[in-house]
Amino acid sequence: MLRLLVAKDLVDLWRSNTLVKMLISYTVPLLFLLLLAWLVDFASFPIPFNLLSYAPFLGFFGFQFYSWLNGMDSPDYLNGFPVALPQLLRAKIVVYFLITTWISVIFLFVMAMVLDQLWALPAALIVMIANSIYIVSLTALLMGPRPNKAIFDISIMAWFYIGTIIPLLALFLISFTQGDMTIYENWGQMVSEEGLNATTSVLVEENAAGKGLRGILGVSAGLIILGIAFLMMLNRRWGRRPFEN
């Protein structure tokens, strides 16, 4: 059933010409973020912004895309089919990742090139993917098929902002511990010489950058676990709800 719902959404996106609007709504903030990264790097801003400072926001921008997915058409007709609302929500999440992930990866790669921090790209990808899983799962759990209406519900939005600001702020602040990103350049050099076994050497470093990297990866792992937990809770929150938006 999940495959059928995903295929239906993809076909609807293509036939309704909504995909172009959705891609624009998703890429415009990313372009702004890319411009901001270039300006900060060009101006030699005293605060140590780096690739890992920007990576969490790529997942946060996905909220608008998820809203578009649920606003394409009314799901009321599905009340007469043998399908539950959580299945539809999971299908929306799958479509979200199918369409947005490659865009985010490209933007992170371009940003890494702009900032000359290519060796930090693997860690940034982990942060981006973890935050994307967490944000879209949290959104689906709290707002279900009605994110455009839920934004007017103070209680839902309060939980949403608490649930998003805390991890975003944590990852953003911890990213400053990476300093001039020398740790990633050293890792890249060691990988060239020793292979992937060099990763362990970087993770056990006791300096601020090493501890910060472990903190970033730890927070990212926690977000993935929470995201999976939220997906498992969809049945409990939305399992008996009718299809409506």
- Domain around 222: 2-238
Q: Quick check: is 175 in a domain?
A: yes
Burial group, residue 237, by CB count within 10 angstroms (0-12, 13-18, 19+): middle
Q: Quick check: is 230 in a domain?
A: yes
Residue 226 has what pLDDT?
Answer: 95
Dump pLDDT digits (tens) for 222-238: 999 999 999 999 988 88
Q: Quick check: is 115 in a domain?
A: yes
Q: Quick check: is 140 in a domain?
A: yes
The alpha helices in 43-153, defined as continuous H runs, are 51-60, 62-71, 85-115, 121-143, 147-150
Residue 22 has what pLDDT?
Answer: 73
Highest mean pLDDT: which range of 27-36, 44-53, 99-108, 217-226? 217-226
| Average pLDDT value over all residues in the chain | 79
Q: Which residue has the tokens 């495959």?
A: 3
Rg (CA), the chain: 20
Q: Quick check: is 244 in a domain?
A: no
| Residue 118 or 73, more confident | 118
Q: Quick check: is 184 in a domain?
A: yes
Q: Closest by alpha carbon to 236, among 167, 140, 147?
A: 140
Dump pLDDT digits (tens) for 39-62: 766 556 556 677 788 888 887 777
Q: How many domains does the chain have?
A: 1
Residue 124 has what pLDDT?
Answer: 87
Q: Quick check: is 245 in a domain?
A: no
Q: Quick check: is 94 in a domain?
A: yes
